[in-house]
């Protein structure tokens, strides 16, 4: 059997799909190997923000990468719509992180100051706003809202529709999406990678590890490393309601369909099956204190998901020295960075090597250095 594919992407979530879509767009013969119906999928549990503010404390390169991703998202949305007819409902008119009470406001102001000090003349603005300033654009704010931070680059998107659009696009580009093919082993023989799956071997000249937290297990098979530190999060969502919220908030957004998503928790226990109602109660309580008129709205569903999270919170993009053609890509913000993955990372992989200017800072070699202080890859 000859070489099957130019590139095999392991992982069919938002990150793997975006890279594979980009590769398909560049004419690469590409396969996506994915798991099945029930598995840990951040792509269907996420909060769907395209979010810039507060990203990158401790790693300025991440700030720049995030800003680039946010700025090129519109190109991705346009391309997906043109190709598949699916409107992913991208809205980027700025987003708020709102605080309740003076303590939270003070902590947020401190964070904003630290961000500004780090980035210096940052190419984006993240600024504190008073409660009355926020109230002018967000009708219905409750009296406990003390203000918050605002960033004009922030936005949100319909992430499930993005997922569908990417998969429809994969098909249109002739990319083979191969579900129910968890990869148990990767070997390299005769200049090609051989991926062992329950339904046979898949061969490709290049391989991209885009399997989320499972990258930690896969990476050593090709001489790479991807130290992960996943966390669990819960989200509740309400029934559809008439539009009331003109901007997304970091923990509360109204989808284009009308539902209100309320997030989110950060927990170390990684069981995504059971729900902790006390946590939902805290989130519901904060939501109704932020917007008292939400109190009577019905919560119709709730779920938990496991965040894909490199150990220090920042993305990992790396290529193997020992096995040229093997790449690893994983990050928390697969929605925010989707355009980067579809355009930049796909281009680099098609060309055969990552560009140090753009993504050199994200090599996993950083973990080999002395343990760094934990940053704020995740707000």
- Positions touching another protein (CB under 8 A) are 12, 34, 36-38, 41, 43-44, 104, 107-108, 110-111, 140, 160, 163-164, 167-168, 170-171, 177, 179-180, 236, 238-242, 244, 257-258, 262, 264-267, 273-288, 293-304, 379
Instruction: Pick between residue 270 and residue 351 the one whose CB is nearest to another protein.
Output: 270
Instruction: Supply the minimum distance, in Å, between the C-beta of residue 379 and another protein.
Output: 8
Shortest approach of another protein to residue 179 CB, angstroms?
5
Please calculate the CA angle 71-19-25 and round it to the nearest 5 degrees.
Answer: 90
30 versus 304: smaller Cβ distance to another protein: 304
- Show the 3-state SS of 98-125: EEEHHHHHHHHHHHHHHHHHHHCCCCCC
Least distance in angstroms from the C-beta of 132 to another protein: 21
- Our CB check for another protein shows the closer of 116 and 276 to be 276
Which structure tokens are listed for 276? 């902790």
Q: Which residue has the tokens 């709102």?
A: 98
Q: What distance in Å separates the CA atoms of residue 222 and residue 339, rounded to the nearest whole number?
A: 26
Cα–Cα distance between 207 and 205 in angstroms, integer?
A: 7
Nearer to another protein, 84 or 319 (CB): 84
Q: In 3D, which of 79, 245, 261, 68 has the Cα closest to residue 153? A: 68
Pick the closer one to another protein by CB: 244 or 367: 244
Task: From residue 209, give the alpha-carbon distance in Å to each of 36, 56, 299.
Answer: 17, 23, 37
Give min distance, CB of 319 to another protein, in A.
Answer: 27
Shortest CB 360 distance to another protein, Å: 30
Looking at beta carbons only, is 296 or 373 nearer to another protein?
296
Contact 348, 319 (CB under 8 A): no
Residues 6+ apart with CB under 8 A from 333: 51, 55, 66, 69, 315
Shortest separation between residue 199's beta carbon and another protein, angstroms: 13
Which tokens belong to 346?
Answer: 């796909």
- 367 or 378, CB closer to another protein? 378
Query: What is the phi/psi pair of residue 136, to 5°?
Result: -65, -35
Instruction: Work out how close the CB of 70 gets to another protein at its nearest, in angstroms, rounded to a whole number.
Output: 22
């Amino acid at each position: 059997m000859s070489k099957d594919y130019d590139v095999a992407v392991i992982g069919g979530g938002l990150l793997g799909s975006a890279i594979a879509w980009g590769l398909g767009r560049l004419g690469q013969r590409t396969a996506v190997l994915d798991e099945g119906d029930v598995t840990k999928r951040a792509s269907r549990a996420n909060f769907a923000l395209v979010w810039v503010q507060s990203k990158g404390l401790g790693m300025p390169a991440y700030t720049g990468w995030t800003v680039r991703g946010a700025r090129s998202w519109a190109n991705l949305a346009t391309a997906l719509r043109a190709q598949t007819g699916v409107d992913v409902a991208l809205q980027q008119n700025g987003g708020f992180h709102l605080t309740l009470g003076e303590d939270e406001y003070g902590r947020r102001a401190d964070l904003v100051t630290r961000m500004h000090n780090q980035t210096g003349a940052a190419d984006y603005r993240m600024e504190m706003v008073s409660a009355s300033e926020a109230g002018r654009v967000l009708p219905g704010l409750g009296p406990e809202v003390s203000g918050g931070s605002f960033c004009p680059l922030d936005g949100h998107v319909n992430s499930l529709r993005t997922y569908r659009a990417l998969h429809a696009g994969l098909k249109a580009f002739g990319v083979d999406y191969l579900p129910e093919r968890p990869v148990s082993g990767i070997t390299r023989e005769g200049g090609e990678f051989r991926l062992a799956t329950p339904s046979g071997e898949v061969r490709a000249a290049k391989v991209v590890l885009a399997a989320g937290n499972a990258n930690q297990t896969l990476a050593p098979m090709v001489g790479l490393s991807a130290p992960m530190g996943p966390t669990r999060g819960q989200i509740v969502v309400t029934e559809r309601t008439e539009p009331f919220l003109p901007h997304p908030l970091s923990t509360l957004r109204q989808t284009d369909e009308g539902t209100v998503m309320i997030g989110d928790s950060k927990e170390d226990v990684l069981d995504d099956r059971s729900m902790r109602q006390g946590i939902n109660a805290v989130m519901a309580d904060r939501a109704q204190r932020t917007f008292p008129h939400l109190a009577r709205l019905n919560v119709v569903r709730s779920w938990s998901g496991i965040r894909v999270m490199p150990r220090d919170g920042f993305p990992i993009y790396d290529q193997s020295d020992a096995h040229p053609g093997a790449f690893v890509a994983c990050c928390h913000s697969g929605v925010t960075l989707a355009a980067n993955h579809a355009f930049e990372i796909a281009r680099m992989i098609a060309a055969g090597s990552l560009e140090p200017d753009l993504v050199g800072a994200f090599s996993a070699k950083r973990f080999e250095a002395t343990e760094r202080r934990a940053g704020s890859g995740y707000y």
